[in-house]
Copies of this chain bind each other. A is one copy, B any other.
Amino acid sequence: MYARKTFLGLSEEKRLKVVDAAVSEFSEKGYNRASINSIVAALGIAKGSIFQYFKNKESLFLFVFEYALGMVKNNLAGVRESSLEEPFFERLKSSLLAGVGFVEEHPRLYSIYLRIMFEGGIPFREELVEKVRRLSAKYLGSLLIQGIARREIRSDLNIETQTFILDALFDRFLMAYSMRHLDAGPSLFREPGSVNKRVDEVVEALRSGLAP
């Protein structure tokens, strides 16, 4: 779709190297500050080559985005299936932990997502944000539908509001986790190994509320 046939004809090793270099550059600098010059320099290939692989910077970026989105989809499909039998709030915990695992394993992909959300001047930015949003809504929706069917959730709360709350807390939890190393003040994750505890606390607050 976004790659030229020259790129698709490359050995898998080289293809992975190119994608890896592009992922690094875009995750470190976002779209606009990312430099094709830097990418080719890091790869040790000529500048012209990258334009034999991708029409332009935009195509390269969209290719990287689709790659990242595929990774996220696989991850979500995995958790959804493996937690299928758990009660609602246990599934929430499993999902949060899976998210943490993904961010831990692929910090650069998560960083690209954050950049897309807030950087200006990204081609098709709205479409990209919408794709991610749909993925998240689909996943949380499947959890909520099951939870409602099993009567594990109050029925007097608007489902859109519930989705919003879950989405907000999920996203912020992952942000806090992925930025824990540079968070100067009090952070959720100062001491190592505190992830499970925090997940439990957040989900417990979500379950029973803040009021006594």
Contact = CB atoms under 8 A, between A and B. Distances in A.
Contact of A157 (B117, B133, B152, B204): B204
Tell me the number of copies of this protein: 2
A5 interface: no
Given A172-B167, A184-B130, A201 B117 contact: no
B169 A210 contact: no
Contact of A182 (B89, B126, B202): B126
Main secondary structure of the interface of A (DSSP, over half): helix
B157 A165 contact: no
A210 B32 contact: no
Interface string A199-212: 00110111111111
A29 interface: yes
Given A33-B121, A185-B137, A201-B157, A211 B208 contact: yes
Interface string A110-146: 0000110111110000100010011001000000000
A198 interface: yes
Contact of A205 (B33, B137, B157): B157
A154 B211 CA distance: 5
Chain A interface size, under 10 / 10 to 19 / 20 to 34 / 35 or more:
35 or more
Interface of A: 28-30, 32-33, 89, 114-115, 117-121, 126, 130, 133-134, 137, 151-155, 157-158, 160-162, 164-165, 167-169, 171-173, 176, 182, 184-186, 188, 198, 201-202, 204-212
20 contacts: A30-B120, A117-B118, A118-B119, A119-B119, A151-B212, A153-B212, A157-B201, A157-B205, A157-B210, A161-B198, A161-B205, A164-B188, A165-B202, A165-B206, A167-B172, A168-B172, A171-B172, A172-B172, A205-B209, A207-B210
